Structure 1
Amino acid sequence: MRKIIFLFITTFSFAQSVTKTMNLLADTGQNTSYTATFGEDNDYSINMPSFTNNANGTIIDTVTGLMWQQADGSEMTIESAYTYADNLVLGGFSDWRLPTPRESFSILNHQNTNPALNTTYFTNTNAGYWWTNTYQTGDNTKVWVTNAGGGIGNKPKSETISAGGTSKFHARAVRDITTPAVISNHFTDNGNGTITDNLTQLIWQKTPNATAVTWENAITYAEGLSLASANDWRLPNIKELQSLNDESLSNPSVNQTFFGSIGVKNYWSSTTVQNQTLNAWFWNTEFGITTFGLKTTVNYVICVKGNPVNLAINSVDLKSKIKVFPNPFSSKITIENAVGNEYFKLYNEIGLEIFSGKNIEKKDFSDLLKGIYILEIKGETDSKIKLIKQ
């Protein structure tokens, strides 16, 4: 007899219109493992960075859909940076602008450092920082900037050489290839202890872990979390974590209507500092800077999961008699207690179908990326099982 699951969830949204300039949130690019504990940044490859060189001084980020200036506009004050971007004509386009903090952070690559960029596509100009279009809330002497080490923060605008300082703050312009959409609700409270970010389509734990823990324990906590009938939670990478930040707010720098328990704290990401492997990146919610600290220190945890469009993970049936092993798996998936007429579908975390058919045990998944997958089994009893590819 087929088991039918009815799921009733009350959702709440409030008027919070926001402009969506990026199609997807790009991955950090980190591809090295720094711990045997499963769940670090390297273990998940979602929306890996991808660029196209237009051979005219412009680069397209094929993940976000933004077009970037290949070589930045050199060192200048923030006032000059606004003028520079507004007057730039490049690649046949004149609608260039300074990026938002989130956009500027999106092209950083956390497998690289100094600069934390893919220098195959972006010219290394020895910049220390890159201007964004956003001043610190309540203080027009400070501006949000990304830095060559891979971070983002609010810095005094007087620190650049052209303003009498000693650091190189450069301008890199961006433009929209298509007209950005306006989303009426940035966040949705799903009524089950989770919040959906409608910009990134990520689902967040509404109430963070109340106890500060080390980085390794943060990973273990996230991987073991069961919330809202889902167990595919993980520790967010630093780009995902920073995407929650609202630079118009401070103390904390996040929407309190939806994240009322987040407080002014440090939150671990799953991302290691590439050239300082005893350190990991974290997000501080006083203003929203990203910085790093020793993995043995204690910070707080807020977990994240994907929002698959094609897969209702919330209806996972954990009572199935069918056993799937090994889990984690590396190449082959073995099925036990199957009747013989089952049909299998394997999805990745964002709902993309990887395999469909009856003979899943004959399939070699050696080339499959590491991460969380959901195996959907259609038969006398339908079920879904969480698998980890290592």
Structure 2
Amino acid sequence: MKKIVIALILLSSQLLTVASAQDQLTATIIGSGSPIYNENRASASTLISAGDTHILVDMGNGTQANLAKLGFEPRNLSALIFTHHHLDHNEEFVPIFIRSLLGRDNFSIVGPPNTVKLTESNLGLYSEDINYRLSKTQRTLAERKKAFEVSDLKGGESFKIGDILVTTLQVPHTIYTLAYRFDFNGQSIVITGDLTYSDKLPSFAQNADFMIIDSGGMIMEDGRQKNERKTSNKVTKNQGSNRQKKGGAHLNLADSSSIAKQANVTNLVYTHFNSTTVDVAASLKEIQKSYRGNIVFGEDLMVLKTDITSSKPKALNSYTIVDSGQRIAYSNNSIISLPQNEDDFFGQDANYIINPPSYTDNQNGTVTDNVTGLVWQQDMGQKSTLVDALKKVKSVKLGGYSDWRVPTIKELYSLIQFSGSVKGDKALYPFIDTKYFNQPIGNTNANEREIDAQTWSSTEYVGKTMKNDDTVFGVNFVDGRIKGYPKYNPRTSEPNKMYFRFVRGNTDYGKNNFVENADGTVSDKATGLMWRQADSNKGLNWQQALQYAQNSTFGGYSDWRLPNAKELQSIVDYTRSPEASNSAAIDPIFKATSIKNEAGEKDYPYYWSSTTHLDGPVQAEGAVYIAFGEALGEMHGKTMDVHGAGSQRSDPKTGEPTSRGPQGDMIRVKNYVRLVRGGNVSIPAKALSENRSEYSNKSTSLIGNSTQRLTTQSIKKGDNKFINRFDKNRDGKVELSEFKATEQRFNHFDKNKDGYISADEAPTGPPKNVSK
């Protein structure tokens, strides 16, 4: 068993130097205790600092005394932040608020609902006292009221305090609670507050340097387990991690360590301890069942800092593949209930949740992908040639940044979501989250098809397509495919124009780091995935491919799976092609079976993914494949590479080989398989709601009947009047802000206490007495 390092970072004479470092983000645990009095621990409070910016998160009992020990004056705070309004988290807010008013700096106050009410009521209550104190320096309360802003947050907001980017997430607890992420200069710290299990937290905290989390479930020296509800830590293939029974207020160790593992945080910091003594060895053993990183048992006045020198330890993975977003299960031609182990069609995309998508609208024309770390241009503007786009991007200053670039095809594909659908050349639902990104459709008034809204990358094909055309890869977020598009119009020789969405940040994204293992497998140290080195050596239909993966025990591993579309695309080598390198478009560390293609030439296979592609009259009949050989089509009786090795298209899941479409895409049906395992995988026990975006410039009346029936079947809200009535954001569930009755009544329906009323929890009849 590996020994886990327990970081006990002690207060030193360097504290103030660290706290004021201009290029470093630090967290000082001001209070690490709980509501129970402990002479060695103040109640919950953490000071986040970067340069001259200082943010105090929560203000429990003892906060002022510990700040005084540091020599830190509350008048110098840039912001007061609440995770939630329990007394052990806000008990000393009033005196700290008043001392901030007596200072001369501007500051902010933010927190969950009732933060404004808490602030304004105390301001009124103590106005005479504050005015008296201010009068000693010839100032008035009316003047100082202009020095601060107070806001209620709901979760999902993003804003800056000084140079620190703050993002928020609502997490489940007994009252409305927020987690916060602080990003500065490539460093990140997450504070969760008190909570129970949150399936959104791993994405929110992805690759954070520190995650400061509730210490629920700690094993005490007297043998008791704090907040534990006797949940087993045994995890089966179908269960995922066990969750606490309803009624809990805090995490257990199985859940906190699972969240840390999924989030790939560098340091897991436990706080919120009570007055009893933790059995460190026993608790570590429990945590280590899931999380193998650095573990910190928080103490008052402990300083957490990242090493910003060249020797700074990096997270194991240099980039993370975002989940495809597909939550609905399909057979060969229709929607089915989520398969369980041993069921037909088990092992498809919907059976696995891997790094769920998470975005932050930065309110400045940019969107941050919280999973990949990439920052994106929200609106693409007008179509442009590749040459013009490469020139234009050098002068872009969007969001105050000047390091924008045209994305590679792997970066661009990270945004695709397979909750989208298309019907031939008709746009139905976009393959990108339009709550965050603008996505146009083709202008039919200008003789374009609705699907003619392709987005180009900077990745040029190393071979030629069609009639010896120079080709650039792009993603079509209207029809859900990667294709190579001619760089020049073959009729006019003029440069073609496409859309471009610029990107910045995480320059390691898409760069593989393959290591050959001694057992016929290859590990990608960049993504954390392990691949089988050889492929299936034969073609299979989609259902057979799923079974092949589920039945494999190669290398002694029993958790092989068919990769989803985005995992499979991550191992394409776009510097290779049959034409340019006489090889498959994959690193030669892999073994790729050669085939004779439809033109009678040596080529390489298409490989199945586990992802269904919704297109055509029977929406569920196709599944995504990646072409590691030439993406062939038949045009004017001639078979040719029409889209390039590395394209992503789709084949019928069953049937007979043929050719089709305006570019005659060759249909093979029996494609090859390359197995994958590893990554941050969760296996849902039941079907989940799917995030289906809408085009803002397109009427839903254009949606075909067959697609509409598919949607109704796939999302339970369609059959539930309660969900239909209250689900304003159409995510298939109802949250408190959408509910029109009391919080008490909301909690009555929210059986699993996850902060939402799902279709399974909602009453099946019409809403009754909801105003009471």
1:250, 1:80 → 2: CA distance? Answer: 27
Residue matched to 1:289: 647
Measured against aligned partners, the alpha-carbon deviations of 1:311-370 in whole angstroms (never above 9, x if no partner) come to xxxxxxxxxxxxxxxx9977xxxxxxxxxxxxxxxxxxxxxxxxxxxxxxxxx9998xxx
Equivalence map 1:360-379=2 (5 Å): none
Q: Secondary structure at the match of 2:388?
A: helix
Residue matched to 2:543: 216
2:326, 2:488 → 1: CA distance? Answer: 33
Measured against aligned partners, the alpha-carbon deviations of 1:77-110 in whole angstroms (never above 9, x if no partner) come to 1111111222211011111000011000000111
Q: 1:257 and 1:210, CA in 2 relative to 1: closer, same or farther beyond 3 A?
A: same
Residue identity opposite 2:500 in structure 1: A
1:134 matched to 2:459 = yes
Q: 1:160 and 1:270, CA in 2 relative to 1: closer, same or farther beyond 3 A?
A: farther
Q: Is the 1:135–1:144 contact (alpha carbons within 8 Å) kept by the matching residues of 2?
A: yes
Q: Secondary structure at the match of 1:195?
A: strand
More strand by proportion, 1 or 2?
A: 1
Q: Is the 1:39–1:223 contact (alpha carbons within 8 Å) kept by the matching residues of 2?
A: yes
Aligned partner of 2:621 among 278, 292, 300: 278
2:392, 2:537 → 1: CA distance? Answer: 46
Offset of 1:129 from its aligned partner?
1.0
Q: Is the 1:202–1:304 contact (alpha carbons within 8 Å) kept by the matching residues of 2?
A: yes
Residue matched to 1:74: 382
Q: 1:56 and 1:162, CA in 2 relative to 1: closer, same or farther beyond 3 A?
A: farther
Q: 1:23 and 1:181, CA in 2 relative to 1: closer, same or farther beyond 3 A?
A: closer
Offset of 1:133 from its aligned partner?
1.1
2:484, 2:674 → 1: CA distance? Answer: 23
Residue identity opposite 1:258 in structure 2: I
1:124 matched to 2:439 = yes
Task: Identify unmatched segments of 5+ residues in structure 1.
Answer: 1-19, 310-326, 331-363, 368-390
Residue matched to 1:112: 420
Q: 1:246 and 1:329, CA in 2 relative to 1: closer, same or farther beyond 3 A?
A: closer
Offset of 1:250 from its aligned partner?
0.5
Query: Please, what TM-score do these two structures have when normalized by structure 1?
Result: 0.69
Q: Secondary structure at the match of 1:169?
A: coil
Offset of 1:124 from its aligned partner?
2.0
Residue matched to 1:143: 472
Offset of 1:308 from its aligned partner?
7.1
Q: Is the 1:157–1:163 contact (alpha carbons within 8 Å) kept by the matching residues of 2?
A: no
Measured against aligned partners, the alpha-carbon deviations of 1:38-59 in whole angstroms (never above 9, x if no partner) come to 1111111100111000010000
Equivalence map 1:330-341=2 (5 Å): none
Aligned-residue CA RMSD (Å):
3.2
Residue matched to 1:229: 556
1:34 matched to 2:347 = no
More helix by proportion, 1 or 2?
A: 2
Residue identity opposite 1:261 in structure 2: A
Q: Is the 2:317–2:528 contact (alpha carbons within 8 Å) kept by the matching residues of 1?
A: no
Residue matched to 1:48: 356
1:192, 1:164 → 2: CA distance? Answer: 52
Offset of 1:256 from its aligned partner?
4.5
Residue matched to 2:520: 193
Q: 1:246 and 1:365, CA in 2 relative to 1: closer, same or farther beyond 3 A?
A: farther
Offset of 1:136 from its aligned partner?
1.0
Residue identity opposite 2:627 in structure 1: N
Task: Identify unmatched segments of 5+ residues in structure 2.
Answer: 1-315, 332-338, 340-344, 422-426, 443-452, 595-603, 630-644, 655-668, 687-750, 755-772
Q: 1:158 and 1:329, CA in 2 relative to 1: closer, same or farther beyond 3 A?
A: closer
1:107, 1:22 → 2: CA distance? Answer: 17
2:679, 2:352 → 1: CA distance? Answer: 15
Q: 1:329 and 1:129, CA in 2 relative to 1: closer, same or farther beyond 3 A?
A: closer
Q: Is the 1:99–1:174 contact (alpha carbons within 8 Å) kept by the matching residues of 2?
A: yes
Residue identity opposite 2:558 in structure 1: N
Residue matched to 2:373: 65
Offset of 1:189 from its aligned partner?
0.7
Percent identical = 35
Q: 1:152 and 1:329, CA in 2 relative to 1: closer, same or farther beyond 3 A?
A: closer
Measured against aligned partners, the alpha-carbon deviations of 1:103-158 in whole angstroms (never above 9, x if no partner) come to 00000111114431100000122262111112111458211111121211221012
Residue identity opposite 1:279 in structure 2: G
Equivalence map 1:350-369=2 (5 Å): none
Q: Is the 1:253–1:288 contact (alpha carbons within 8 Å) kept by the matching residues of 2?
A: no
Q: Secondary structure at the match of 1:240?
A: helix
**Quick one: higher RCO (CA 8 Å, sep 6+), 1 or 2?**
1
Q: Secondary structure at the match of 1:170?
A: coil
Residue matched to 1:265: 605
1:221, 1:255 → 2: CA distance? Answer: 22
Residue identity opposite 1:284 in structure 2: A
Residue matched to 2:122: none
Offset of 1:23 from its aligned partner?
2.8
Aligned partner of 1:174 among 487, 503, 515: 503
Q: Secondary structure at the match of 1:228?
A: helix
Q: Secondary structure at the match of 2:566?
A: helix
2:456, 2:362 → 1: CA distance? Answer: 23
Residue identity opposite 2:419 in structure 1: Q
1:278, 1:161 → 2: CA distance? Answer: 35
- Find the structure with the greater CA-based Rg: 2
Q: Is the 1:75–1:161 contact (alpha carbons within 8 Å) kept by the matching residues of 2?
A: no
Q: Secondary structure at the match of 2:416?
A: coil
Q: Secondary structure at the match of 2:588?
A: coil
Q: 1:329 and 1:32, CA in 2 relative to 1: closer, same or farther beyond 3 A?
A: closer
Offset of 1:164 from its aligned partner?
5.0
Offset of 1:230 from its aligned partner?
0.7
Residue matched to 2:36: none
1:97, 1:58 → 2: CA distance? Answer: 13
- Which of 140-149 and 262-271 deviates more? 140-149
Offset of 1:201 from its aligned partner?
1.2
Q: Secondary structure at the match of 2:585?
A: coil
1:54, 1:88 → 2: CA distance? Answer: 17
2:492, 2:362 → 1: CA distance? Answer: 31
Query: Please, what TM-score do these two structures have when normalized by structure 2?
Result: 0.36
Q: Secondary structure at the match of 1:31?
A: coil
2:414, 2:527 → 1: CA distance? Answer: 12
